[in-house]
Amino acid sequence: MSEPILSANNVVIKFSLRGRVLTAIRGASLSLHEGTTLAIVGESGSGKSVFTKSFIGMLDENGWIESGSIRYGDRDLAQFKTERDWLSIRGREIAMVFQDPMTALNPLRTVGAQIQEVIEQHENTGRSEAKARTIKILDDVGIPQPELRYGQYPHEFSGGMRQRIVIAIALACNPKILICDEPTTALDVTIQAQILALIRAVQHDYKLTVIYITHDLGVVANVADDVAVMYAGDIVEYGTVDEIFYDARHPYTWALLSSLPQLGQKGEPLYTIKGSPPNLFADISGDAFAPRNPYALNIDFQERPPYFQVSPTHFARTWLLDPRAPKLEPPATIRQMRAARSGDDRG
């Protein structure tokens, strides 16, 4: 496998809140491989945004990287201290697209001016060349009649089109890594699918490595090469899309898969994960998911599991993979998925 373009190792991120300290990211590690799309999934509050914002130096003011490294090329982004350090990385090397396109756009300026400004700042191009490139990018992100749309304001675009403009602004800097933080949850389902298809389409032309953040494991199958499952500030399972969908090993991943509406049995209530995530102000001993895990072993409450390797590309942090653990059948929904899959293979 290729060298990772970015690798985060044992990253711990803390926030100070009203005189107390909470640990939002608890020693998370991640390898991102060039040219691939990695999906990060996990329920609200699991740390998807905080973790990835640390890759571009955009943690809120009350947060800091306590320990760990974030390797990008020959640099360790975890050591960056000042805005100056980030200037060469943010936008230029690693760009991020957020959920609400309206907050990313200036309502008072035409979309063309907003894209072109980025091109002019980043490259020493003349105005007419920058304009031509702006129109090309508008076309690339699927804006019809780009010459006409160039001179229009954000309010003249629909929500989905606005998100395309935000993506265009990100692409204008030619970043190597594009992080999309739930870029579609504010949009309806068909538009969501279109934006996902767009990211797929531009990925090749712009030679992008993509991190796609979502709490919906269902959308991931169509966009991702690899999936990282996050729980309580840690990556608990990591693998290819196939490995996560058809050979998941962590009980939290099983729970996420079981709660997919697509997999629900007709007439049966949809599976929901019982309990709530841990308090991040408290010390967590053992596996953070243990109190919600119907399969938890005694050791899960005492000692934090290491990563167990399932395949060269597949890792899970659960004591169930320890050779001493009792052999366990995954829940029925997961078994059915596997069975349906092997049926497909034969057909």
Binding site residues, ligand ATP, CB under 6 A: 15, 17, 22, 24, 42, 44-50, 60, 62-63, 215, 280
Give the residue with the Cβ less far from ligand ATP, 24 or 334: 24
Q: Transcribe 232-256 into DSSP letters.
A: TTEEEEEEEHHHHHHS--SHHHHHH
CB of 232 to ligand ATP, least distance (A): 9
Q: In what order do the strands lie in the sheet with 314-316?
A: 94-97, 177-181, 209-214, 37-41, 226-231, 234-240, 314-316, 308-311
Q: Where are the alpha helices (DSSP H) in the chain?
A: 48-53, 83-87, 101-104, 111-122, 127-140, 146-149, 159-172, 189-205, 217-223, 241-246, 251-258, 332-346
Amino acid at 338: R
Which residue has the CB atom at the shortest distance from Mg ion?
49
CB of 186 to Mg ion, least distance (A): 12
CB of 90 to ligand ATP, least distance (A): 18
List the Cα angle 261/267/268 in 5-degree steps.
65
CB of 250 to ligand ATP, least distance (A): 17
Select the binding partner of residue 146 from Mg ion, ligand ATP, none (C-beta < 5 to 8 A, by kind).
none
Give the residue with the Cβ less far from ligand ATP, 31 or 49: 49
CB of 280 to ligand ATP, least distance (A): 5
List the Cα angle 125/127/132 in 5-degree steps.
85
Residues 49-68: x where in contact with Mg ion by CB under 5 A, - otherwise, as a string? x-------------------
Select the binding partner of residue 272 from Mg ion, ligand ATP, none (C-beta < 5 to 8 A, by kind).
none
Of 191, 243, 178, which is closest to residue 219 (Cα–Cα)? Answer: 191
214 binds Mg ion (CB under 5 A): no
Contact residues toward Mg ion (CB under 5 A) are 49
